[in-house]
Structure 1
Amino acid sequence: MLRTLVRRLGAQAAQGVRGYASEAAPKKSGAASFKPDYDAVRKAVEDLLESNEDYDDGSYGPVLVRLAWHTSGTFDKNTNTGGSNGATMRFLPESNWGANAGLAVARDLLEPVKQKYPWISYSDLWTLAGATAIEAMGGPHIPWRPGRSDYAPQNFVALPDGRLPDGDKDAKHVRDIFYRMGFNDQEIVALCGAHTLGRCHDDRSGFVGPWTNAPTTFSNLYFVELTENKWHKKKWKGPLQYEDKSGQLMMLNTDMWLLWDKKFKPYVQQYAKDEEAFFKDFAAAFSKLLELGVPFPEGSAAASPTPNK
């Protein structure tokens, strides 16, 4: 009976995103009684978040959220390729995509956690780290469940570049990117609210500056700034971006289009006034993002690590 169950689970794991083979999990003694401790992994990630006060604004949280988003945001519902399953950013050329510049910092940061807990896949670790970081920075609990596998390098088939958004584009580009993944306009705006975290770097994206004055706190401040501030084009030799009167805060062209587009704008205004609604919608959309293309066993329920109280 045990052999039948193992074969069945193996068959389920093989039915995933097309074009890849998964690496086999390492054999463990006493595997029948082994119970993965995802709370321990979560705690290990939390311990890393403020381990280097000299990194950016003193927190690795924003770059871990970006890693989780970029490893998941390659999904294409039309071809059933991409997504977080496989941890394909470990391989070239994806690891060197312009959109992924700077994410080696996040991947390297999590490597000691992977070594301490070798049973967790990179794809589960990267997505759990992003969800953990959001909550640790004051955001909502992100429903998360394990079950992703890592693709074997000898069977890896590279994804085409261009699946992640470009900050200097317009509303059509934003919709093209997110509709390809299966999101609607409300979910698009909610997910863009992650720009409340972190900052842009000229040696990565070419853009410069934070969106808010609290880049390590998850809140609805991004929407407040977008709606209440006065924005004008930044006069410089870099790519198109906008800045406020002080010159300290910035918005990308894609951010501005959330305000200019008549279908996006109502959600921007709603989230600027109602942080609770934003948190609720963001948690649902981000959890969906992390699961795109993942072949979870049928009926598999969320097994989120215990949220902080």
Structure 2
Amino acid sequence: MSFSALRNPLRNTARRATQLPKAQFRANFNRKFSTPPPPPAAEAKSSSTGLYLGLGAAAAAGLGYYFYYTTSGKEAGTAVRSAAQAAKVKANFVPAKEDYIKVYNRIAQILDDAGEYDDGSYGPVLVRLAWHASGTYDKESKTGGSNYATMRFDPEAGHGANAGLKVARDLMEKVKEEFPWISYGDLWTLGGVAALQEMAGPKIPWRPGRIDGFAAQATPDGRLPDATQSADHLRNIFYRMGFNDQEIVALSGAHALGRCHRDRSGFEGPWTFSPTTVTNDYYRLLFDEKWVWKRWDGPKQLEDKKTKSLMMLPTDYVLVQDKSFKKYAKAYAESQDVWFKDFSKAVSTLFELGVPEEQFVTKEPWILPTVEEQAEKKD
């Protein structure tokens, strides 16, 4: 493979949307590392030249993994990329923080290139990609999580919970072509971080170190939440990942973003009036609106009685029915700052699930500046 194409290639100020009626805002198992875990690396420094020097050896190593694991050309390419990532970490030929900021900025730049897609932003679907790529983790078997980016492979790519995410994966593939040195797991989770921060959300601590895996490491179906289920189901799913009740409720607030699609999940509609801005409206609406069961031919979901333009899923509504969940949801409805703090911590943890500590290229996660903050610094 050729690495001669390696090159170092904004989004406008994040805006906080006002609450609008729907019509207006729509118009406007056997776990083994694919490469041996590298020793802890020191804080990375910019090393583009050294990076190129290490890629030839990494490619050769990747071919060895190819013959060991598979006879598929697609997985051969994955093996080369995976070995390259591990070689960079082991040899300390690791891109610096500034290099990852360039990737962040490219993602931020394309968030609003969505045209007529959904509500005019790719942000929500990028958050969903990062979430679903990470939320497959099983703390007992230590499988799943963001480390191997196995949603690239069937059957995981086709799991019902991942319906519609090809849009996000294809979008990230364009970024991957510009920055071929970044692993898919790092790219997808960084995409989630960029989307959340650029949509006026809290800062999400993040660090690189994920490596690309193989189809054999893809996770079984059923590890992600089923929106038709009860509080017990949510606990089973999130406890399996290592989260508690407070973190379950905090992470549920991501439903402030985006909407459901009839042709994907079967559900239809947005949760809030501002689906491209991170706010605590999801919690406020749960308490402030009167929710009734929607009369239609689709799966059970609720709609707000007043406008019938918003929806909540059964797993959303349990947050105000379950005693333990309710106290956290109420706190988040009353204070966006409290939710931002807890959400930031929980999302950072979520995006690191399944990644061995020794793979990370820095001990402490980074706080990456938004595009607006970078511009202000230059001024």
Report the TM-score, using the length of structure 2 for normalisation.
0.74
One of 183, 202, 205 as aligned partner of 1:121: 183
Letter in 1 for 2:256: T
Question: In 1, distance between residues paired with 2:134 and 2:343?
Answer: 15
What one-letter code is carried by the residue in structure 1 that aligns with 2:229?
K
| Consecutive unaligned residues in structure 2, runs of 5 or more | 1-34, 41-68, 70-77, 374-379
User: Is 1:305–2:330 an aligned residue pair?
Assistant: no
Question: Who is 1:158 aligned against?
Answer: 218
In the TM superposition, residue 76 of structure 1 has moved relative to its aligned partner by 0.3
Quote how far apart the aligned CAs of 1:301 are: 2.0
Aligned residue number for residue 37 of structure 2: 12
1:68 alignment partner in structure 2: 130
Name the SS for the 1:264 alignment partner.
helix
Secondary structure of 2:115's match?
coil
| Superposition deviation, residue 13 in structure 1 | 3.7
- Tell whether 2:102 aligns with 1:77: no
CA positional deviation for 1:305: 2.9
In structure 1, how many angstroms separate the alpha carbons of the residues matched to 2:135 and 2:259?
19
Find 1:144's aligned residue among 202, 206, 226.
206
Gaps of 5+ in 1: 1-9
Give the CA deviation at 1:217. 0.4
- Structure-2 change in CA distance of 1:14 and 1:181 (3 Å): farther
8 Å contact 2:150–2:217 — kept in the other structure?
no
Cα distance, 1:50 vs structure 2: 0.3
Letter in 2 for 1:127: T
In 2: Cα distance, 1:132 partner to 1:112 partner? 16
- CA distance in structure 2 between the partners assigned to 1:198 and 1:40 by the alignment: 26
Q: Does structure 1 retain, via aligned residues, the 8 Å contact 2:104–2:194?
A: yes
Deviation at 1:295, TM superposition (A): 1.2
Deviations, residues 25-66 of structure 1 (Å, cap 9, x unaligned): 1789xx866634000000000011000221100000000000
Instruction: Go from structure 1 to structure 2 and tell me whether the alpha carbon gap of 1:34 and 1:233 turns closer, same or farther (over 3 Å shift).
Output: closer
Pairing partner for 1:211 from 247, 268, 271: 271
CA distance in structure 1 between the aligned counterparts of 2:95 and 2:189, rounded to whole angstroms: 19
| Contact 2:206–2:366 (Cα < 8 Å) also in 1 | yes
Secondary structure at 2:302 match in 1: strand
Work out the CA distance in 2 between the residues paired with 1:305 and 1:13. Answer: 25
Deviation of residue 110 (structure 1)?
A: 1.0
Match of 1:54 in 2: 116
Alignment of 1:273-292 (within 5 A): 273-292=334-353
Match of 2:154 in 1: 92
Aligned to 2:319: 258
What displacement does 1:306 show? 3.0
Same amino acid, percent of matched pairs: 56
Contact 2:255 2:282 in 1 (8 A): yes
SS at match of 2:357: coil
The one-letter amino acid paired with 1:209 is G
Q: Contact conserved, 2:144 with 2:218, CA < 8 A, in 1?
A: no
Q: Matched residue of 2:287: which SS?
A: helix
SS in 2 for 1:297: helix
Q: Distance in 1 between matches of 2:39 and 2:308?
A: 51
Q: Which residue among 193, 198, 222 is the counterpart of 2:282? A: 222
3-state DSSP of counterpart to 1:236: coil
Query: Which residues of 2 match residues 178-217 of structure 1 at below 5 A?
Result: 178-217=238-277
Q: 1:11 to 1:151 in 2, by over 3 A?
A: closer
Structure 1 contact 72–289 (Cα < 8 Å) conserved: yes
Letter in 2 for 1:238: G
* In 2, Cα distance between equivalents of 1:40 and 1:282: 25
**For the residues of structure 1 that align with 2:335 and 2:155, how far apart are their CA atoms?**
41
Match of 1:242?
302
Q: Secondary structure at the match of 1:166?
A: coil
Secondary structure class of the residue paired with 2:225: coil
> Equivalent residue for 1:4?
none
Number of aligned residue pairs: give it: 292
1:170 aligns with 2:230: yes
Give the 3-state SS of the residue equivalent to 2:354 in structure 1. Answer: coil
Secondary structure of residue in 1 paired with 2:83 = coil
Q: Is the radius of gyration larger for structure 1 or structure 2?
A: 2
2:147/2:354 contact within 8 Å kept: yes
Secondary structure of 1:232's aligned partner: strand
> Contact 1:146/1:303 (CA < 8 Å) preserved in 2?
no
| Aligned partners of 1:68 and 1:127 also within 8 Å | yes
Residue 83 of structure 2 corresponds to 24
